[in-house]
Amino acid sequence: MNTNTTSAKGARRKKILGLICCLVIFTAATASQMDASPKKEISDEGLTELFNAALFHVQGDYVDEVSRQTLIFGAIRGMLSSLDDAHTRFMTPDETNELQTEMRGNFGGLGIEISQRDNVLTVVSPIDDTPAMRAGIRPNDKIVEIDKKSTRDLSLTDAVKLLRGKPGTSVNISVVREGEDEVLYFDLVREIIKIKVVTSEFLEKEKLGYVRLKQFNQTATEDLARVIGEFKKKKARGLILDLRWNPGGLLDAAQRISNFFIKSGVIVSTRGRKKELDKVFNANPSAAIAADIPLVVLANEGSASASEIVTGAIKDHKRGKFIGVKTFGKGSVQNVISLMYGTSMALTIQKYYTPSGVSIHKKGIEPDIKVPALDFNKDDRRHYKEIKEKKILSNFVKEHKHYNAETVKKFQKMLEDRGLTLSDFAAKKTLKDEYTKNSPRPILDMEFDVQLQRAIKELTKT
């Protein structure tokens, strides 16, 4: 007799017996419930019993001991995730405190607003002058890994936890970007993110006021009103409101700021399931502190939510020109509800509509005048990486002390000799950034900001 054959047969018998035993155990546990498959909706009482039964078995029989709080928090998150709405989420006491700190404009992290689109962690907007913005993170970048760990099936809350951390510590982000063939990797160092919500400058020659609003937080309305007052004292002939890279914030702030520029009519309306909560926000003539000054709004793919409320109101009322590119497209309203024991829940309760009755959710707002920002092309990005890694840039700047047209020509010639050509824009921008990296960042970029240039041109037409 072939002993190998006998041994194989014996092993197969044992496997079959094992499967039978498993089947018997399963059958014994479930036979009485085989007819329990519902043919209609389960009653509220039945659903409560079902939940408690599942909780009972997990607490009693799961291989590892798990606290009841962990299970209940997980159950709430699961319930909210079934809504397929990235903006609706449950927050623990720590996460609730983080949100409150963020809205006050002082928090730790990378300076990046994220969401989920089609279950993929997606950048809404980097915040101006933060590690994320300086590194080149962009709206609609898909974050596929954080510190080499996949973000697939990662909740928005858990993603925020991984991205935030102690100031001075680093985190690596892997990004998939439309138009790029390879995954992009960014090493970022966390900082205390202090948002100066409003920055401004008066262009004396053109008599134009420029104001950048970075977030619609609790101080935005008051800060912007103060700046507008200063511009009026200087007899400004026009105003540029820059909402680029502004991820949004408070609905009330967006409504009040829109009212600064609009005398009458609908600013925004909100609609939800409960019709009694639907609201129409109309302009108050007495609050229109800048209703007559010529106006341009700058917005882009990083302008979302409250930024889109203001942009949409100004565009629909033909109160000013929107220059830039299509906005992000977040047109839903969340209510942060305080729950028990320090927890809270951000719940989408409504969608908002522009004065013309249009919902921009997942659509965005198209500009009146489309002006794409200048950008590096694929070859620029590939060569830039090599230029930085080999310290070609830093060595060149050590030898040439000033940024000017002649220096740019020498830089491009040196790169060409090495087979590392950059476009004119990329060469100038790369060189200037290296020369000025230790200097305070200017509020206005008159050399490279073509959207700002077009806004000035539009307001100084004769």
Q: Is 231 exposed, middle or buried (0-12, 13-18, 19+ CB in 10 A)?
A: buried
Which has more confidence, 30 or 382? 382
Second-level CATH architecture of 106-194: Roll (2.30)
Percent of residues, the chain, with pLDDT higher than 90: 64
Is pLDDT at 373 greater than 70 in this prediction? yes
Which has more confidence, 156 or 61? 61
**Packed helices 424-435 and 392-399: angle between N→C axes, nearest 10 degrees:** 70
Q: What is the mean pLDDT of residues 56-60?
A: 95
For residue 244, the SS3 value is coil
Percent of residues, the chain, with pLDDT higher than 70: 90
176 contact partners, CB below 8 Å, separation of at least 6 = 141, 142, 144, 183, 184
Structural tokens at position 68: 């009841």
Structural tokens at position 79: 């319930």
Lowest mean pLDDT among 149-163, 254-268, 296-310: 149-163
Confidence of residue 312 (pLDDT cuts 50, 70, 90): very high
Segments making up each domain of the chain, as ranges: 46-82, 106-194, 198-370, 378-459
Confidence at residue 16, expressed as pLDDT on a 0 to 100 scale? 42
Return the C-alpha torsion angle 82, 83, 88, 91, nearest 10.
-20
Paired residues of 213 in beta bridges: 198
Per residue in 79-108, is it b (16+ CB within 10 Å) or e — as a string?
Answer: ebbeeeebbbbbbbeebbebbeebbebebb
| Strand 344-353 with 89-91, pairing | antiparallel
Q: What is the mean pLDDT of residues 378-407?
A: 90
8 Å CB contact between 334 and 305: no
342 contact partners, CB below 8 Å, separation of at least 6 = 92, 93, 96, 97
Confidence of residue 157 (pLDDT cuts 50, 70, 90): confident
pLDDT tens profile 48-57? 999 999 999 9
Confidence at residue 438, expressed as pLDDT on a 0 to 100 scale? 73
Lowest mean pLDDT among 18-22, 35-39, 389-393: 18-22
**Whole-angstrom Cα distance, residue 91 to residue 77?**
9
pLDDT tens profile 27-46? 334 444 445 555 688 999 99
Is pLDDT at 462 greater than 90 in this prediction? no
Confidence at residue 20, expressed as pLDDT on a 0 to 100 scale? 38
Average pLDDT over the chain reads 88
| Strand 142-146 with 295-299, pairing | unpaired
Distances, alpha carbon 270 to alpha carbons 214, 296, 370, 409, in Å: 23, 25, 28, 55
Is pLDDT at 293 greater than 80 in this prediction? yes
141 CB neighbour count, 10 Å cutoff: 24
Confidence of residue 21 (pLDDT cuts 50, 70, 90): very low
380 CB neighbour count, 10 Å cutoff: 19
Q: What is the mean pLDDT of residues 303-327?
A: 97
Longest dimension (CA), the chain: 107
Q: Is 4 exposed, middle or buried (0-12, 13-18, 19+ CB in 10 A)?
A: exposed
Lowest mean pLDDT among 141-150, 258-267, 342-351, 382-391: 382-391
Confidence at residue 128, expressed as pLDDT on a 0 to 100 scale? 76
Confidence at residue 22, expressed as pLDDT on a 0 to 100 scale? 40
Which spans in 130-250 are helix H? Answer: 131-135, 156-163, 220-233
Confidence of residue 430 (pLDDT cuts 50, 70, 90): very high
308 contact partners, CB below 8 Å, separation of at least 6 = 248, 299, 327, 328, 329, 330, 331, 360, 364, 365
8 Å CB contact between 210 and 451: no
- Rg of the Cα atoms in the chain: 28
Confidence at residue 257, expressed as pLDDT on a 0 to 100 scale? 98
Task: DSSP for 31-76, please give it.
Answer: GGGTT---SSPPPHHHHHHHHHHHHHHHHHHSSS---HHHHHHHHH
Is pLDDT at 58 greater than 60 in this prediction? yes
**Best CA proximity match to 215, nearest among 193, 244, 247, 242:** 247
- 3.90.226.10, 1.10.1740.10, 3.40.47.10, 2.60.120.200: which CATH number matches 198-370? 3.90.226.10
8 Å CB contact between 417 and 392: no
Confidence at residue 4, expressed as pLDDT on a 0 to 100 scale? 46
Confidence at residue 36, expressed as pLDDT on a 0 to 100 scale? 52
Active site residues: 305, 316, 330
Confidence at residue 382, expressed as pLDDT on a 0 to 100 scale? 87
Confidence at residue 106, expressed as pLDDT on a 0 to 100 scale? 57
Which spans in 170-305 are helix H? Answer: 220-233, 251-261
Q: Using DSSP, how many helices (H) and how many strands (E) does the chain show? A: 14, 19
